[in-house]
Structure formats: structure tokens, C-alpha cells
Amino acid sequence: MTKVIFVVCDGLGDRPIKQLKNLTPLEAAKTPNLDKLAKSGITGLLHTVYHGIRPGSDVSHLSLFGYDTKLYYKGRGMYEALGLGMKLNKGDVAFRCNLGTIKSDGIILDRRAGRIESAEPFLKELDGTQINGVRFSIKAGVMHRSALVMSGYNLSYKVSDADPHETNVKIKKAMPLDNSKEAQFTADTLNRFIDLAQQKLKANPLNKERTKKKLLEANYLLVRGAGYVEDVPSFFDKYKMSSCCIAGAGLYKGIAKALGMDVLEVKGATGTFTTDIEAKMKAAKEALKRYDFIFVHIKGTDTAGEDGNFLEKKKFIEKIDKAIKLISDLDDTLVVVTADHSTPCELKAHSADPVPILMNGPGVRVDSTKRFGERECANGALSHIVGLDVMPEIMNLLGKAQLYGD
Ligand code: ZN
């Protein structure tokens, strides 16, 4: 066995839900194809970073790919920027941003400017701004989202978010998070940029049009998630496997790029509920001809969890299951299905509850698990593993693990 398809269903894990007869959305969903893979494979429960850690999607993915986050995680911003195709150099500091709406007294009215269709026409005149010898590049993402990159000397990613993350509170400044001159300089320069952006956004004629149409103005840039660009060993350096990523949402493409994976663009892969999962699985199957390791990311499970919508989550899991059929009968391939964390509908947020994992392929020591579910997989032969165990387990099953000792 030489190839791997690694499917991450974002936020898949959940807790028992009363309205689903105390089953989780995954347990309640009809998933014949995932069940078949679990039944003829090996399963377990996965603590994606470590026991009791409630991870963000960025750190959990790094961990799943075998990167110790204590060494390699330097903030989310760089992955967002890479995911939007921005060029990053060592020493740059990157952020993720929202275009938001504030009132004249600086109180945040809406963190998404009324879910504005595109930030692009508002951000054009901010791109390329220079302050204190630092160049600011900004690029629009989906709807209100964008990424910002500061390029120059003496920058630090140790600056706080200039975003209180809630509405009806006052805007806040970026602050240095350590005593270094670099952190102070970065925070001061960033705050000057945010002030300038506020002036320019306020004067933008597009906002007058929005007011006329009774839409919220896009008049403030909320900046968060400072990330530092640093060299990390590539996925190929670590595992000697060529790799690619199939994802709709930018963050996952960014993580893949940071690790040197090729990002394949698949028509219909949107990172939303309407995403074409079958197209992604077909593309994954096709990619086996060119790559050894194919990472497929599916976002909708997490979105449904964050909305607290357990019926949508169950329905979306059934949609994933249908598409999984396309990769359930492959020769010479290890299929791994898991999640990056739980997003229980009850919490509408990530939790530290471990997630189910299955590995299916020739030679795998089949266990007694009959179904793919949180509680069923707790009895699987992989037992409880942590994120950094996943790649070594895969390498062992592929027969590529290095001998330890003599
Ligand atoms: Zn996630």
C-alpha cells in the first residue's frame, strides 16, 4: 500500500442530542458507506491536539499532519493570507480581517458590515499603503473577509487582536504582547494603518450608496490573528510523499500551502453546505495518479455545529457518506476519515471531545467496530490516540515507518 486519501470532516464530533434520541448527529445519520469502511477497517478516538485541549482548526490540522504546534504554530494570519494566494516572505506578519460597521462613537454595530457581498472594492485603495517603512498588502476573501500582510523590518507577531470579537462594544487598539521593541513598533504601525483605513473607508463613495440603500456601511477594518512567516519542514521533507489538498475554504488551502502541498482547485468545492463533495472525491481519486497523499477537507459539518443546527449537521453527514462511496473500493490505498475537532451543536463552538477516526486499507488489522460513530469508535483497536500519533500510524500501515533502535 503506497497511497493515502485523508478526509477531514471539520467539526464532525458532537454530543448526544435529546431531539435525536440522545444520539450525536453522526450516530443518528444514515451512513452505510462510512460504516462499511469502519467495519472493514480499524477505528479509534482521536484527541486532535492533546487530551482536554479545545483546538482551533489551524492548530488541529498542523497536529494531524504531524507538526508539533508548540514548535510550528505562529498564528493563524499566515494561513489565511496563503489561502488567498498572497505572497509571503520571512519576517512578514499576516492577519485576518473583517470589514465591519461601527457607529460614530466607535461602538461596533456589525462585525460583517451586514454580510457584505465583497470587500474587494473597499480594500483596493488600501493595498500598498506604506507607514513607518512598512508595506501593507491587503486582499479580499469571501464576503466580508480579507487578509492583511505587513512587510518590512523589525516586525513581530506578538500583537493582540484589534478586534473585540463582539458587537455593542468599543473598538480596541492592537497592543504589544511582550516587552520587545518589535512588538511595540508593529502594534503602533498597525494601529496607524487601521486609523487611515477608517478615514478612507468613511470617505468611500460606495458607502454613501450603501446608506442610500439602507445597507450598513463598510467603515471599519477589524484585524486579528497575527501570524508570523517562518520556515517549516515541508510535508515531503518529513514523509517523502508527494501531497495535495482539495478544499473549498481558504484556511485549509493556506495550511496546505505552508506545508508545501499542491492545492487543487475543484469546481463546486465551496466550503459551504452546497459544496460538491462528490466532485471533491472524484478529484481525490483522480489525484491518486499523481500524488501519494491526498488531503480532502469538508467544512459544512463545522458550520452546522456552530449554527447549533443538528438536523443540518445530520443531513450534511449523510451527503458526505454518499460521496465517500466513490473512494470506498480503492486498491493499494489507505482511506482515513476523521475530524479536526468536535463542534457540538449544543455549544455552537469547538470542544475538546475526541473525534472518531477510521483507517481502511489492505493489511489493516480489522477490529470489531461495526459503525462509524463517536461511541462505537471508542471500542476500536486504535484506542485513544492524539494528533501527533496519526501520521506515525499511517506511516506504519504504509510500511514506511523507520526502525527505532537496531
Ligand atoms: Zn475545524
Q: What is the mean pLDDT of residues 44-61?
A: 97
pLDDT in tens, 269-286: 887 888 899 999 999 999
How many domains is the chain built from?
Answer: 2
Residue 46 in domain: yes
Same domain, yes or no: 316 and 211? no
Type and span of the H or E element at 287: helix 277-287
Percent of the chain with pLDDT over 90: 91
Same domain, yes or no: 202 and 84? yes
Same domain, yes or no: 181 and 125? yes
Ligand 1 centre distance from Cα of residue 188 (Å) = 32
| pLDDT recorded at residue 274 | 85
Domain range spanning residue 279?
3-71+232-397
Assessment of whether the complete model's pTM goes beyond 0.85: yes
Q: What is the mean pLDDT of residues 357-372?
A: 96
**What Å distances lie between residue 383 and 319, 329, 337, 389, 406, CA to CA?**
27, 25, 15, 11, 28
| pLDDT recorded at residue 115 | 83
Same domain, yes or no: 21 and 116? no
The Cα–Cα gap between 135 and 137 comes to 7
Ligand 1 centre distance from Cα of residue 379 (Å) = 24
Ligand 1 centre distance from Cα of residue 303 (Å) = 9
Residue 324 in domain: yes
Residue 151 in domain: yes
Ligand 1 centre distance from Cα of residue 36 (Å) = 25
- Which residues surround the ion ligand 1 when the cut-off is CB under 5 Å? 10, 57, 302, 340
pLDDT in tens, 187-217: 999 999 999 999 999 999 999 999 999 999 9
Same domain, yes or no: 341 and 240? yes
Residue 188 in domain: yes
Residue 95 in domain: yes
Ligand 1 centre distance from Cα of residue 193 (Å) = 30
Residue 358, pLDDT above cutoff 80? yes
| pLDDT recorded at residue 134 | 98
Residue 19, pLDDT above cutoff 90? yes
Q: Which of 340, 343, 353, 345 is nearest to 52 (CA)?
A: 353
Same domain, yes or no: 266 and 284? yes
Percent of the chain with pLDDT over 70: 100
Same domain, yes or no: 324 and 393? yes
Domain stop point among 168, 199, 228: 228
Ligand 1 centre distance from Cα of residue 300 (Å) = 10
Residue 335, pLDDT above cutoff 80? yes
pLDDT in tens, 221-256: 999 999 998 889 999 999 999 999 999 988 999 999
Type and span of the H or E element at 334: strand 333-338
Same domain, yes or no: 217 and 286? no
Q: What is the mean pLDDT of residues 67-96?
A: 93
| pLDDT recorded at residue 1 | 75
Same domain, yes or no: 237 and 282? yes
